Amino acid sequence: SQQGEEDPQALSIQEGENATMNCSYKTSINNLQWYRQNSGRGLVHLILIRSNEREKHSGRLRVTLDTSKKSSSLLITASRAADTASYFCATDEASSYKLIFGSGTRLLVRP
């Protein structure tokens, strides 16, 4: 079963614009991660935010976490055509190493 659900399912923006994706989850977590998947490839880890953190930055990526609402957002600033991919949030159950992925957001960045 999926722990996280992403919103929107698909997003199309112009190069240079910002892209925001949201993730909601159901149970207590140790941390939340975001991964990217290019078409036909495996998933690549982008960023991890721990349950006691509220915001984290990495280059053009900004992740927020609201544990009271069980939600997270991923912001990609100044998007590029190369950012076109699917983005997944993933959470691990507090008592195990099972990493459960959300349904993903398909991002298209138009040149």
Partner 1 sequence: DAGVIQSPRHEVTEMGQEVTLRCKPISGHDYLFWYRQTMMRGLELLIYFNNNVPIDDSGMPEDRFSAKMPNASFSTLKIQPSEPRDSAVYFCASRDRGSGANVLTFGAGSRLTVL
Which parts of this chain interact with partner 1 (CB under 8 A)?
2, 30-31, 33, 41-45, 48, 50, 88, 92, 96-104
Distance CA(111)–CA(108), nearest Å, equals 10
- Are the C-beta atoms of 92 and 107 separated by less than 8 Å? no
Give the nearest distance from C-beta 57 to partner 1 in angstroms: 17
Decide whether 69 or 98 has the Cβ nearer to partner 1: 98
Beta strands 5-7 and 55-58, pairing class: unpaired
Question: Omega of the bond prior to 111 within 30 degrees of 0, cis?
Answer: no
Distance CA(90)–CA(81), nearest Å, equals 24
Give the nearest distance from C-beta 18 to partner 1 in angstroms: 25
Decide whether 3 or 79 has the Cβ nearer to partner 1: 3
Decide whether 9 or 18 has the Cβ nearer to partner 1: 9
Give the nearest distance from C-beta 1 to partner 1 in angstroms: 9
